[in-house]
């Protein structure tokens, strides 16, 4: 799945988490065994673990030597040494071979202490006959085998249990304090159990810490990649995905991925480790009841499969519904003043309620489906517990297993079932996270339509003076335009360095599109746009935008201060440079009138200043960048005539060597331009000075006369 690939961001942490999960699983799977030992050995067996006890009376030892084969008798005599008290004591070598000794002495020890229960075997008579040479070891072995065969199929298990009981009786006969042995065993096993629990707790804490950090790093990395990708997008890609969807992908979708990444590291990897370990432990405890586990797992998968068949289709559409809610909310908040102006609050509320209700219904459906999971799982778990007790009870009655083994089996069964339950629950969450991952990958895989060349010609650009900007037979159409209708057709002009060129035309004539082509927000469909004779496609985007200071049609300010907005191009910009840019943009007066001056706060979007002040601050930002050309995309529309004229004069006086490109609606703003380009329906219908166009271009003359009188137009500066 896509989401698992994201864990490659933190390979070292994943490896460490897996190691810690193995440790945690080992400790978790060890605790039931300790519980079983405490019940079986510590309580039922009084702490006696082996049939080959530490101390045996001389009478019992001689009887054991009689009943075991020659080779086993040699091993037995080498494992014990007779003490001064006449009893036989286990040696260090014997302690090392205790498992083998248990197999040798188990049934003979039972025969010694429970001879009365073996009617076909008389121990005292056999002892006398053996001492008199009338009975051989083989004959004794045959008699013991015959007595053992009478125990039936459960003979071995009963012998093991009776051997421990006989060992306890033998220890008591040898004068051993069995109560002390029992308490020592309980304390030793309890301490080991506590130590194992502490180790598991430490591993669990470490896994939780590392998993949380790893998931957070995955989220941070993805957000960083997504943000860098979105920043590199041209306007075409922004429109393709939509701002609302990009916001959802960068927040909700990545949050889903981060949450599931945490669950993958904390639970999903742990579940199979625990399940495999539990199956191994169950098999070693009692393979006869393993069919119960198989039955439980099958029931689990049936329940999970049914629930997933209902829930998964809804999970796949949930993210799109979140997108819709985000889109409606963003539109309503952005256009709140328009909504109020037209008294459409009720309509917008209903529109939002519709999108919100669709999401709510989908979430309610999935949540209701998921509510069946836990009761179903609990029913299966409790049914399995009852079945284990029922079957295990009969096994205990037959002597096949002990009580502690059944307790351990129940615990291991619950561990296995819970592991598969975790896998099932997460598998239902994964489809939604996978949808989120697909949406993130879609953005990350998208190639921007505007890319830097492999070897940009940035060094060929002059460093000083104005920039020459030219359009060479440029035709442009938007990729998603109906029928591929061009927005601009065969536009051809040159703006010499240090001159002012203005663009004017009716609404929709293509003026702002010209500005976007100059800034290389889009690339020309045909023809070329050059800066200082170099095609902008051969320059890096950074070089283009360092060369041209841009003031957008809709002035936008960032949250911060006046100074931080003006110095946006270079945060280390000096105070004098900021103030000079503010002076030229006619911003200094109203800024210095504020109590905080240039440290006055600016809210997001500049909503706490007027439209004219916002435009002037945006102009100051472009001036402060030090660009060789300034592009004003209808950036004087909110200024009064007096401020407009003053600003244009300041630009001419202070930035005379810079190239100015002005997109405007007002003729008064561009009358003094060295060159005016007139656009109409995407075509260039006029080019020249104000006076030349008044006499040669009917479209320009109509626009001009609609705004100013004949006298003002022919008199020069109308301001």
Query: Would you place residue 717 in the very low, low, confident or very high pLDDT band (cuts 50, 70, 90)?
Result: very low
534-572 per-position pLDDT tens digit: 999 999 888 998 899 999 888 888 888 989 999 988 888
| Percent with pLDDT over 70 in the chain | 93
Closest CA relative to residue 504, chosen from 659, 697, 696, 645:
697
Query: Would you place residue 531 in the very low, low, confident or very high pLDDT band (cuts 50, 70, 90)?
Result: very high
Supply the Cα-derived Rg of the chain in whole angstroms: 44
Alpha helices in 487-610 (DSSP H): 511-518, 541-547, 562-566, 575-584, 588-592
Looking at residue 494, its pLDDT comes to 93
Q: What is the DSSP string of 299-353?
A: HHHHHHHHHHHHHHHHHHHHHHHHHHHHHHHHHHHHTHHHHHHTT-HHHHHHHHH
Give the mean model confidence (pLDDT) for residues 617-637: 89
Report how far residue 613's alpha carbon sits from residue 591's, in angstroms, rounded to the nearest whole number.
9
Query: Would you place residue 156 in the very low, low, confident or very high pLDDT band (cuts 50, 70, 90)?
Result: low
Secondary structure of 658-673 as H, E, C letters = CEEEEECCCHHHHCCC
Query: Would you place residue 493 in the very low, low, confident or very high pLDDT band (cuts 50, 70, 90)?
Result: very high
- Whether 523 shows a pLDDT value over 70: the answer reads yes
Give the mean model confidence (pLDDT) for residues 7-27: 91
Looking at residue 195, its pLDDT comes to 94
Give the mean model confidence (pLDDT) for residues 422-438: 74
Looking at residue 472, its pLDDT comes to 94
Tokens read off for 702: 């109509």
Query: Would you place residue 287 in the very low, low, confident or very high pLDDT band (cuts 50, 70, 90)?
Result: low
- Which residues contact residue 204 at a Cβ distance below 8 angstroms, ignoring those fewer than 6 apart? 24
């Amino acid at each position: 799945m896509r989401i698992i690939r994201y864990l490659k961001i933190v390979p070292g942490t994943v490896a460490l988490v897996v190691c810690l999960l193995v440790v945690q699983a080992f400790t978790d799977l060890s605790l039931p065994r300790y519980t079983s030992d405490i019940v079986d050995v510590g309580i039922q067996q009084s702490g006696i673990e082996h049939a080959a006890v530490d101390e045996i009376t001389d009478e019992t030892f001689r009887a054991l030597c009689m009943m075991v084969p020659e080779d086993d008798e040699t091993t037995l005599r080498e494992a014990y040494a007779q003490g001064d008290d006449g009893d036989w004591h286990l040696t260090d070598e014997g302690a090392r071979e205790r498992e083998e000794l248990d197999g040798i002495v188990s049934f003979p020890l039972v025969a010694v202490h429970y001879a009365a229960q073996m009617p076909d075997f008389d121990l005292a008579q056999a002892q006398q006959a053996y001492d008199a040479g009338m009975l051989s070891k083989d004959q004794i072995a045959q008699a013991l085998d015959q007595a053992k065969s009478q125990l039936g199929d459960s003979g071995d298990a009963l012998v093991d249990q009776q051997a421990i009981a006989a060992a306890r009786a033998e220890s008591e006969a040898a004068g051993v304090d069995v109560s002390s042995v029992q308490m020592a065993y309980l304390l030793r096993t309890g301490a080991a159990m506590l130590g194992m629990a502490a180790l598991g707790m430490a591993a669990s804490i470490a896994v939780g810490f590392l998993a949380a950090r790893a998931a957070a790093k995955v989220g941070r990395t993805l957000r960083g990649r997504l943000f860098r990708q979105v920043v590199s997008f041209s306007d075409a890609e922004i429109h393709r995905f939509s701002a609302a969807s990009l916001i959802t992908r960068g927040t909700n979708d990545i949050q889903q991925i981060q949450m599931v990444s945490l669950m993958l590291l904390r639970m999903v990897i742990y579940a199979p480790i625990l399940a495999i370990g539990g199956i191994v432990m169950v098999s070693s405890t009692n393979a006869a009841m393993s069919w119960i586990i198989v039955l439980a797992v099958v029931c689990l998968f049936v329940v999970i499969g049914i629930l997933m068949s209902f829930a998964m289709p809804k999970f796949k559409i949930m993210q799109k519904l979140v997108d819709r809610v985000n889109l409606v909310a963003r539109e309503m908040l952005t256009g709140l003043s328009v909504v109020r102006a037209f008294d459409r609050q009720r309509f917008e509320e209903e529109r939002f309620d519709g999108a919100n209700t669709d999401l709510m219904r989908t979430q309610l459906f999935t949540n209701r489906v998921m509510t069946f999971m836990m009761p179903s799982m609990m029913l299966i778990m409790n049914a399995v517990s009852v079945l284990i007790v029922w079957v295990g009870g009969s096994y205990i009655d037959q002597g096949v297993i002990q009580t502690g083994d059944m307790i351990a089996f129940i615990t291991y069964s619950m561990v296995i079932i819970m592991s598969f339950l975790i896998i099932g629950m997460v598998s239902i969450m994964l489809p939604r996270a996978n949808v989120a991952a697909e949406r993130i990958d879609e953005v990350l895989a998208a190639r921007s339509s505007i890319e830097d060349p492999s070897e940009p010609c940035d060094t060929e650009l002059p460093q000083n003076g104005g920039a020459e900007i030219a359009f060479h037979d440029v035709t442009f159409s938007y990729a998603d335009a109906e029928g591929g209708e061009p927005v601009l057709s065969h536009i051809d002009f040159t703006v010499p360095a240090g001159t002012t060129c203005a663009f004017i035309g009716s609404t929709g004539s293509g003026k702002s599109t010209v500005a976007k082509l100059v800034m290389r927000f889009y690339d020309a469909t045909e023809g070329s746009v050059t800066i200082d004779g170099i095609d902008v496609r051969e320059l890096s985007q950074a070089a283009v935008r360092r060369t041209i200071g841009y003031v957008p049609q809709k002035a936008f300010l960032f949250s911060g201060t006046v100074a931080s907005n003006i110095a946006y191009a270079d945060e280390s910009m000096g105070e004098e440079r900021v103030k000079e840019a503010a002076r030229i943009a006619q911003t200094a007066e109203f800024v210095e009138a504020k109590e905080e001056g240039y440290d006055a706060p600016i809210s997001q979007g500049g909503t706490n200043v007027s439209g004219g002040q916002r435009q002037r601050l945006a102009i100051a930002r472009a001036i402060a960048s030090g660009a060789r050309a300034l592009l004003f995309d209808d950036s004087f529309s909110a200024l009064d005539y007096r401020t407009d004229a003053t600003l244009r004069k300041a630009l001419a006086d202070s930035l005379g060597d810079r190239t100015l490109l002005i997109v405007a609606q007002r003729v008064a703003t561009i009358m003094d331009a060295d060159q005016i380009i007139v656009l109409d329906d995407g075509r260039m219908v006029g080019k020249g000075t104000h006076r030349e166009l008044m006499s040669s271009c009917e479209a320009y003359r109509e626009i001009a006369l609609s705004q100013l009188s004949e006298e003002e137009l022919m008199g020069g500066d109308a301001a």
